[in-house]
Amino acid sequence: MLSQGFVSAAAIAASVLFILSLGGLSNQEKAKRAVWYGIVGMGVAVFFTAFGPGIGGYWLMIPMIVIGAVIGARLAGKVEMTEMPQLVAALHSFVGLAAVFVAWSADLERRRVLAARAADGVMQEFSAFAALVATKAPDELTFLQIEVVLGIFIGAVTFTGSVIAFGKLAGKVDGKPRQFPGGHLLNAGAAVASLVLAVLYLSGAGFWTLLVLAALAFFIGYHLIMGIGGADMPVVVSMLNSYSGWAAAAIGFTLGNDLLIVTGALVGSSGAILSYIMCKAMNRNFVSVILGGFGTTRGPAAEIEGEQVAIDASGVASALNDADSVVIVPGYGMAVAQAQSAVSDLVRKLRAAGKEVRFAIHPVAGRLPGHMNVLLAEAKVPYDIVLEMDEINDDFASTDVVIVIGSNDIVNPAAQEDPNSPIAGMPVLKVWEAKQVFISKRGQGTGYSGIENPLFYKENSRMFYGDARESLNALLPLVD
């Protein structure tokens, strides 16, 4: 058993490692080292917490840690990069559910201590947490109850919200916004009822209040995320990441665990900041997005004129051979086709021919922030030619060829041209301003959000149909 001094020192060390990890993730070149900071920090946190003072039950704890580690390792080895967004959502749900269970357990221990006090009895088998509760004054127990309520409510919303986000990202739940009759009024009613239950609980009502509170919060999480369109899922995942952090912080206060408080606050605040940055990049109000205001129809969408004109690999190769500047816009379709290596090979060939080649990355490209950056880094694409939207958007007018690979909403001119479009006002990559645009796409269907794209019908656009990796591999031998 380790002393409290060792545990406190380890908590500080782990907190520093977590901060270094978050800071390093802002730079692609430092990201790998930053991940290791996080891994080591979590290892330190788990070890020193598990063997700290007042902790027991190792006969159950150690097997659970081993089983969890094995399952995590197997999942990490099997999950493709295309499945990473839904994996992240699933992991958020675990944090939320854990917060609910811990909060319930904390209240049961609180009641156990109070019952012993009322009977003037001495509890012979205190758990570590019950021993902590037994030292608290009545006003401190009230704060404990508030922490329990917050842990249950935030954790339950996070759990069901993350499950629905997982379903939408995995294609198991319809990506279109759907709500029960009554819409937001149901969410508001459930939130008011939750507040009433919290007041009853704090006034001395039974454990049943926490059970009903959790049920209402489960409903809010489910209904809230069901009402958000698929195009908003990157923001939703980031938001749920923030929720899971605040749930962990609330439980950290409940358990008197400083490290859990710090870790939860880091996750919660970083997730909230990322959600804000993404909403700002999409020209969306954060509250509006979370309440399902994006992804819904505002009126009749503008009719699209023209037809989609197909082109083969030789036609695309001819345009590339004549071009001096090329911009590639990757999207989720590139990840699905696992075409990043073929893209990298094309880039090397074009640059060897003296052509300027760059990538344009939209803030919500893919289904997870940074998704495209990770794929391109994996394929050894140089960091310095991968540019964010704000850095490259004004250059499309002077670009000879743009190749769009598996993107839809982020290159949709309806966002700027059609005020009734569900994505109206969202900043997009203005690829249509280039001299020629080639769109690599499996077929004529709409994208993930189900929104039609006028880009596909413009005179300077051609559809390069087929699997992205196969299409690019067919293109490569034809490029000089």
Model confidence over 217-264: pLDDT tens digits? 999 999 988 887 766 777 788 888 888 899 889 888 888 788 889 999
Q: Are residues 335 and 463 in the same domain?
A: yes
Residues 236 and 319 in one domain: no
Stretch 343-361: mean pLDDT: 94
CA-wise closest residue to 266 among 47, 96, 48, 38: 38
Residue 22 shares a structural domain with residue 128: no
Q: Please, which contacts does 285-293 make with residues 24 or more away whose CB atoms are closer than 8 Å?
A: 289/228, 289/232, 289/235, 289/236, 290/224, 290/228, 290/236, 290/239, 291/184, 291/187, 291/224, 291/227, 292/177, 292/179, 292/183, 292/184, 292/224, 292/227, 292/228, 292/229
Identity of the amino acid at 232: D
| 300 neighbors 420 (Cβ within 8 angstroms) | yes
Does residue 472 register a pLDDT over 70?
A: yes
pLDDT of residue 271: 86
CA angle 329-330-336, nearest 5°?
Answer: 155
Whether 300 is covered by a domain: the verdict is no
Output the six-digit token pair for 82.
Answer: 């295309």
Better-predicted residue by pLDDT, 228 or 435 = 435
Which residue has 């959790």 as its token pair?
A: 214
122 and 175 within one domain: yes
Q: Which of 54, 103, 46 is nearest to 251 (CA)?
A: 103
* Domain assignment present for 308: no
Q: pLDDT, tens digit, for every residue of 52-62?
A: 777 777 888 88
Residues 6+ apart with CB under 8 A from 461: 309, 432, 437, 438, 439, 455
Alpha-carbon distance of 419 to 415, in angstroms, equals: 7
Residue 99 lies in a domain: yes
In this prediction the pTM is 0.79
Looking at the fold, whether 385 and 248 belong to one and the same domain comes out as no
Asked whether residue 253 falls in the same domain as residue 331, the answer is: no
Q: How far is CA 238 from CA 162, 167, 228, 404, 476, in A?
A: 10, 16, 14, 25, 37
Which residue, 24, 56, 78, sits at the end of a domain?
A: 78
Say yes or no: 446 and 321 in one domain.
yes
Domain boundary (60, 78, 96) is at 78
- 139, 232, 322, 409: the catalytic one is 409
Residue 123, pLDDT score: 54
Structural domain span for residue 346: 313-478
Neighbours of 341 (CB within 10 A): 16
Specify whether 72 is located in the same domain as 91: no
- Whether residues 116 and 199 share a domain: the answer is yes
pLDDT of residue 359: 96
The dihedral through the CA atoms of 69, 71, 74, 79 has a sign that is negative
pLDDT at 7: 81
Q: What is the DSSP string of 360-385?
A: EE-TT-TTSTTHHHHHHHHTT--GGG
Task: Say whether both 199 and 286 belong to one domain.
Answer: yes
Residue 361: give its domain's CATH number.
Answer: 3.40.50.1220
333 domain residue, yes or no: yes
Q: Examine residue 202 and state whether it is found in any structural domain, yes or no.
A: yes
How large is the average pLDDT for residues 164-193? 84
Query: What is the edge-to-edge ordering of all strands in the sheet holding 386-388?
Result: 386-388, 356-361, 325-330, 401-405, 436-441, 461-465
Domain membership flag for residue 163? yes
Do 239 and 93 share a domain, yes or no? yes
Assess if residue 57 is contained within a domain: yes
Residue finishing a domain among 259, 290, 321: 290
Burial 146-180 (b: 16+ CB within 10 A, else e): ebbbbbbbbbbbbbbbbbbbbbbbeeebebebebe
Section 470-477 average pLDDT: 93
State which H helix or E strand residue 337 sits in. Answer: helix 332-337
pLDDT in tens, 198-223: 999 999 888 999 999 999 999 999 99
Same domain, 246 and 344: no
pLDDT of residue 118: 67
In angstroms, the Cα distances linking 344 to 52, 296, 307 are: 49, 37, 31
- Least Cα distance to 53 among 152, 159, 131, 162 occurs for 131
Number of structural domains, the chain? 3
Q: Is residue 307 part of a domain?
A: no
- The answer to whether 409 is a known catalytic residue is yes
Residue 203 CA from chain centroid, whole number: 37
Per-residue burial over 429-453, b = 16 or more CB atoms within 10 Å of its CB, e = otherwise: bbbbbbebbbbbbeeeeebbbbbbb
